[in-house]
Amino acid sequence: MEIPTYPPPDDPIPREIKCLDHGFVALVDWMGNDRTPAQCARTSFRNAQQERTDEQDAKLTDYLVRHKHTTPIEFCQVRFYMKMPIFVARQLVRHRTASINEVSYRYVQAAREFYVPEVARLQRKPETNKQGSSEALVENPALCTGVIRDAGNAAFDAYAELLREGLAPEIARIVLPCGTYTEWYWQNDLHNTLHMLGLRLDPHAQYEIRVFAQACLDLLRPIYPTIITAWGKARAA
Ligand SMILES: Cc1cc2nc3c(=O)[nH]c(=O)nc-3n(C[C@H](O)[C@H](O)[C@H](O)COP(=O)(O)OP(=O)(O)OC[C@H]3O[C@@H](n4cnc5c(N)ncnc54)[C@H](O)[C@@H]3O)c2cc1C
């Protein structure tokens, strides 16, 4: 399935991109700009304070990215607020350098929001590969959609009943499916963010996490155009 990319926005800095049926990625804060890595890297020669042109900084940035001089890129920091199904969060949480603060269904009630894939995503199990999905759809996508929706609704009915019985929310939540939406702040330095995006934009990564990775990239591009272009070139090389 094709990953949606964000169209060139009227606002040169888009702040939020919708993902899947109930999710989104919002860029809520960042530190450092497109020239920060080049300026930091010049400390090596004690000449960080000298005036440089955009072109000189862009050339150095390209060099840093291409030769994996990664620490200057870490001087930029980004913070997203994301809402995604738990199974997507479960994959993203593996990126260990990120700082995360997540909503807790021990404290607040989960909204009845769970992921129901669109028909084009109801792809068959691949014949040759143990993970991923084939291009072909299952024979009866409508049946699969119905089963997923019914299962989600039944789980949320059970959750509501357990809460009505006075069960502690931290136990009641165990009946919720991994397609349930969760929310968090996700913060990381730009180098490790790009590392995560490289892994999660790869065609081997699951479609749903690629949607979120693409949204992160589309939000970062207007802020760090030179760095992202250099990273894209290095990735394609
Ligand atoms: C397509 C795909 C399929 C996957 N399938 C599975 C699977 O089936 N099962 C599974 O368990 N996982 C799976 N993963 C997760 C994968 O194994 C990694 O845990 C995840 O991609 C994070 O990668 P990372 O460690 O490079 O990145 P991060 O955790 O983001 O770390 C960034 C970098 O920091 C450094 N670093 C961070 N922590 C340490 C540390 N403790 N020691 C040394 N260096 C460190 C490393 O250089 C690392 O590359 C999959 C990932 C992908 C992309």
For ligand 1, atom 16, name the residue with the nearest CA. 94
DSSP, collapsed to helix, strand or coil, labels residue 99 as: strand
Query: Cβ(192) to ligand 1 under 6 A?
Result: yes
Query: Quick check: 148 pLDDT over 90?
Result: yes
pLDDT digits (tens, 9 = 90+) for 163-203: 999 999 999 999 999 999 999 999 999 999 999 999 999 99
In whole angstroms, give the CA distance from residue 222 to residue 102: 27
Helix axes 225-236, 190-200, angle to 10 degrees: 40
pLDDT digits (tens, 9 = 90+) for 113-122: 999 999 999 9
Mean pLDDT of 134-156: 95
> For ligand 1, what atom is nearest to the CA of residue 98?
30
Backbone phi, psi, residue 84, to 5°: -150, 160
- Cα of 96 vs centre of ligand 1, distance in Å, is 8
Backbone phi, psi, residue 123, to 5°: -90, 155
- Cα of 95 vs centre of ligand 1, distance in Å, is 6
Query: Cβ(98) to ligand 1 under 6 A?
Result: no
- Probe residue for ligand 1, chosen from 199, 201, 204, 209 as the CB with the greatest number of ligand atoms within 8 Å: 199
In whole angstroms, give the CA distance from residue 162 to residue 194: 42
> For ligand 1, what atom is nearest to the CA of residue 199?
53
pLDDT band at 8 (very low <50, low <70, confident <90, very high): low
Query: Cβ(198) to ligand 1 under 6 A?
Result: no
- Cα of 202 vs centre of ligand 1, distance in Å, is 14
- Cα of 51 vs centre of ligand 1, distance in Å, is 39
Query: Quick check: 135 pLDDT over 90?
Result: no
pLDDT band at 49 (very low <50, low <70, confident <90, very high): low
Structure tokens at 31: 């530190």
Helix axes 225-236, 54-66, angle to 10 degrees: 40
- Give the model's pLDDT for residue 208: 98
Query: Cβ(209) to ligand 1 under 6 A?
Result: no
- Cα of 59 vs centre of ligand 1, distance in Å, is 30
> For ligand 1, what atom is nearest to the CA of residue 204?
1
- Catalytic annotation present for 200: yes
- Give the model's pLDDT for residue 12: 57
Instruction: Kindly name the residue from 173, 200, 210, 221 that is annotated as catalytic.
Output: 200
- Cα of 76 vs centre of ligand 1, distance in Å, is 21
Buried b (16+ CB within 10 A) or exposed e, 164-191: eeeeebeebbeebbebbbbbbbbbbbbb
Mean pLDDT of 130-140: 87
Mean pLDDT of 1-25: 77
Query: Cβ(201) to ligand 1 under 6 A?
Result: no
CB 25 within 8 A of CB 19: yes
Q: Whole-model pTM above 0.85? A: yes
pLDDT digits (tens, 9 = 90+) for 58-83: 999 999 999 999 999 999 999 999 99
